[in-house]
Structure 1
Amino acid sequence: MCLDRFDADYPEQAMKKRFSLHFHISTLFLLVMVLVGGAIGLLAYNTISKILLQSASDKSEAKVFQVSSNLYRLLEPPEIAVKLLANSAITDALTLSERMKRLGLLRQVLADKGEIAAVYIGYESGDFFLLRPIRTDAERTKYNAPPETHFMIQSIERQGATLEGSYLFLDSTLRLLKVDRQPDYAKKYFPRQRPWYQSAIKDSGSIITPPYLFFANRKVGVTIANKAENSRSVVAVDIELDAISKNLEEQKQTPNSKFALLDGQGFVIGITQDASLIKDSLDGSGRINLKQLNEFNSPILTQVFNVFSQKSGSNDFMDVVEVGGEKWEVDIHSFKVPGQSDFMLVSAVPQIELLAESIQFKNDLLWAIALLFILMTPAGLFLASSISKPIKFLAQETDNIRELKLHESIYVESRIQEISTLGNSLKRLKNTISAFTAYIPRDLVTSLLRSDDGIQVGGESRYLTILFSDLKDFSALSETTPTRELLRRISSYLKLMTYAIKEESGTVDKFIGDSVMAFWGAPTLNPNHAFHAAVAAIKTKRRMLKLNAGLIQEGNMPLVVRIGINTDAVLVGNIGSEERLSYTVMGDGVNIASRLEGINKEFATDIIISHSVFKEAGERLWVRPIDQITVKGRAGEILIYELLGIRGGDAETSPSATEIILCDLTSKAFNFYSAKNYESALAVYQELIEQYDDGLAKVMASKCQSHIES
């Protein structure tokens, strides 16, 4: 809806008071709504916070039980796997080849549980057979493995009185890639002396070792082992502590939650913190010292350690702990895993993060109050909309002018005098720019509108393609044709050619009587400038046929357009004086394009292109070579071609079957001509004359005859 109209002499002070009143009423109303809404929101927030605080402990406790259950499920499947393997045939395999036949079962164990770092069997004979996945290039480099390696076997096999060690590398299908003999491996690693073997061989069930440093990859982890049914071997799997920490990290309740898994002695074997679990190494046996909660540089974990150290009785614990003014929900829960004493799961969650739902509710409530405020103030919003809507339209109209969308008019009506005046000014500006674009290239106008520097005299050297056109026998036509009729015909031809040039992203430089000068590659860069110029020329030639059909039907003479195209480095830019500028091109390359247009007359052709155009786009054009010519102002000769069509073009630009034959036969004749085999060249040109009455062939045949006679 339009605003009330202001008279031209309406006092400016009154207008300011009116807008000031609207502003003050809107501001006061908004302030009241914010205060009332804020009070309601704060009350609701405090109430919801109390409710959530009561449930925070329950949520934290439930999460702890969930995480402990997940940890149990992390360790239970490997324990089941070693029990199954303990009853498999691989525990009776006496040689490496027999063990290799059972690889599929070991691979399945690794595939089912990604946290398993290795699966292996230690035999009472001292033999050892281990399969580990190779997942990274760093691991392949460490073991000198082939690039396709996906699995690695570490084997110790008794050969008579000696033990031989070797590494075997396999691809994803378990195909053997490489065998690397490791004599020192069998001398350094004794499976029967390892803690996992000695503990499991004495136990009737599964055991889990304390954390230790793995022999091969030097990572910290635990081993789950089980004595084989035949009691002559032990089956085991390794689980790295990193896998336990990763499992804890994936189950964090909030971004800053902390989980830690402690063994029965209170040492940390998994934590949601990027820190090493190892304090130091005691000796070369692989035994290590793990950190406790107070050794991770975490204030909350240190506080939990202090509280936990002072309590007696059950290890389970749940309370609110304050550190640095921040409250944390702390929960310690004990649980058992197969083959191990109690594990303890420590959980610490910031209360502020547990109350995130309350904060979200507060925000939602504030938005609801804001929405209510909007619904309760329709009059004020309607007034603001009535003022801003025409301004928004004017801004959109300004953008249309900036983008030269001059035919997309937006009707703006307002009773505010300034807005109405601005709208009328924009209309006049559109009309002015519309007229402006009819005289200079549209791309240039767009560039000027977007530039803050204004128009300046100057130019740059750029590799462009230039086109000149002219009408055959225009002087005679102008003498015999009435002025209005001549203008109608010429305008039809110029309109037709202008559209063809614009369709191919060209810039019309100027009209010189019946001549057109255009170029490609400026002001907008165009990497295919030569090709687009050729397409525009062919489109012009084809469309002139339709125009001439109408002229002939009216009883008038047809118009024959001749075109010259050249590609060269020329000067392009704003050339002239401060009083009068022209965005144009100049240079020797421009003169050559003009000369080529005139040379059409000598060779009875319609479109001539230079060799530089052919080099840029020749593989996409149907052309036929004409001759080496000398152009005035240019030293040496240049090779010129007649353009007949576009390779792979549409119905409008593709050549006819006859034109393709002309290209082939003319190329054949020109090859003879270039080799100075004028008799053979003359024969082919004569064939073109006899079959197609070709004008170019007539000219070239005459040249061949002259060479033969001389």
Structure 2
Amino acid sequence: MKISIKTILIFGVITLILGTVTIIMSYSYWRTQTALNQLLKNILVNISDYSIDKTESFLLPATQSSALTRRLIQSKLLAEGNRKQLAQFFYHQLSLHDQFAGMYLARPNGEFIYVKKENSSFERGFRTKLITLDRGLRRVKLLDQDADFREQAQQFDPSDKYDPRTRPWYQLAKDKKGIIWTDPYVFFSSQLPGITTARRIENKDGKLIAIVGIDIELGELSSFISALTIGKRGKALIVNQKGAMIAYSASDFVEQRSMKRQPRNLNELSDSISQQAFQPLFQEKKGYHLDQDRFTKFDFRGGTYHALLKPIQMPGRSWIFGIYIPERDFLQEIHESQAESMLIAFLISLLAVLLAIWFSAKITASLKILQRESELIKRFDLSTDVTVETVFSEIQDLADSFFRMKMGLKAFRHYVPISLVRSIIAKQQLPDREMRNMVVMFTDIEDFTQISEHLPPRILVEYLNDYLEVISRIVMRYQGTIDKYIGDSVMALWGIPVNRADATELACEAALKIQSRLEVLNATWAQQNRPIMKTRIGIVTGDMIVGNIGSSERISYTVIGDQVNLASRLEDLNKDYGTWNLISEETKEQLDSRFVTRFLDEVIIRGREQKTRVYELVGLSQTVSAETKEIMTLYEEAVEFYLEGQFIEAEQLLLLISSAETEQQDPPTQILLEKIRKKIAQVAFAQDDTGELTALE
């Protein structure tokens, strides 16, 4: 399989450019993407670490306050039964920590002291709830204090049935050493989401003496989480192991359920992206479980998201901090820049490809011209003159070499038949000698010797070349091959290098065309005071040896054989019969009805023992008059009488022809009539009994 230079150039340049651009852009994209992904991870880590620190700082005071309460009670510095002392201590802790919504202590017997922030009556005020048991009598007392914890009002609520021992924080803390954290819920009094941390307090014997608890409102933590700048559409949230929301945007944090507001669970959020980010952590029995930091990347509704899930390591909790960010928030500008770079690279590549196509077109255009020229040269068609001008020196050198070669071949074709050269080129080998049925033609100028005696050599050569040009063009027009020029004679062949079934007809048509053309030219030449050049032609069809004839130093592709000699003799025999075109019997037999011929005579050709029947090529049927055709018929009958020895009958027919009114006398008729009269004069005649004359030897 061959590939064109244009294809190789275009494909090579396109491959090189696209390959280079692809490698550079891919490497640049990979490096940029890697760096940006790392930067994105660092951002997520920094935000999560900051958020977790903030969360821990937000929750740590509750742990510390509960631990402090436990130590103070165990060290007797704070009595669990001294309600006023406890209330003042709780008041002090609430004043120190804004995130504390309330602080309380519950005893195993059901007594309860609860101090919470209350801003409905006083700014930065407090409300204390006391549940006491006095001799089996349960009393619930509510006290309102101002910012200085001075009592402003009190009331009793006998309808209050609140029992702290039934609350989840109490149940979790009483059987567990250390701190506990409840799931988030909505505080009844404030209707805000929050959580409770509680701790068991024992005496020195390990007996439970109280549970201390602290309510923490998560609004501030949720506000902090919501206010984080995480790109344009990123979010952060904190969930516990059950998927309950610890911190999220305040608007989505709680929902109304059967007249009761409750914090949302992760799988209840309208934020499907958050659910997708946490989905890998979910386990059927453990819920959302995470032991170490985890980066994830996921696709959601046509967008790519990066997420970091990080456990919050604090006692008593199994919380997970999650943060996600759309990739386009951080990488969109980079992607746009990369898209612009790719567009620029594409335009540059396109320009380079167009230049490559232009250069390849310039190269291949010249090469195609040379290719067409080589194909023409292969057929030895040297008729075109094409000039190649190119900026590429190698191609220009090749084109110049083509031009010089063509000039040489043009000169060479004047010495070698074009058809032969084409055959040699097509077969790519020299032809072998072989016997072939062919047609050979000889032409010769009448009285050329006399013409040459009266002309200077230069003028003679000029006139002769004009004459030979006419002969040669007509021969080649009728598919003949000029074998050689012999002085003023031309030897032409039909049937080489390729056999033709119509070779004889073409040769005869060429002969008639030569005569008609010379008739016109001779009239013109006569007006120019140039010598007229009448031509005698002999044509023979038969088997001849054709091939390379000569020595090792020089050879000639030609034909030899008896038929060649016969053609030369027939051409010369025209002088004896006053004719211009003589053909052999085999030639006559291969002509169809388009041609008019006449049997001229039987002659003994020099070098041959047997007589040869000779025919005159008169013309094409459409150009020969009926009168001439009648004369040809009478002449052939006279010849037959003549050959049979019936001279009187032959003479009578010839006299009939001579007496016919024609523009000019028929030379063969006059010549044959003269021959018959000589025969009659040499023969004595006797009359037999029937009265007929019989020739006597």
What TM-score do you get using the length of structure 2 for normalisation? 0.47
Which structure has the bigger radius of gyration?
Answer: 2
TM-score, structure 1 as length reference: 0.46
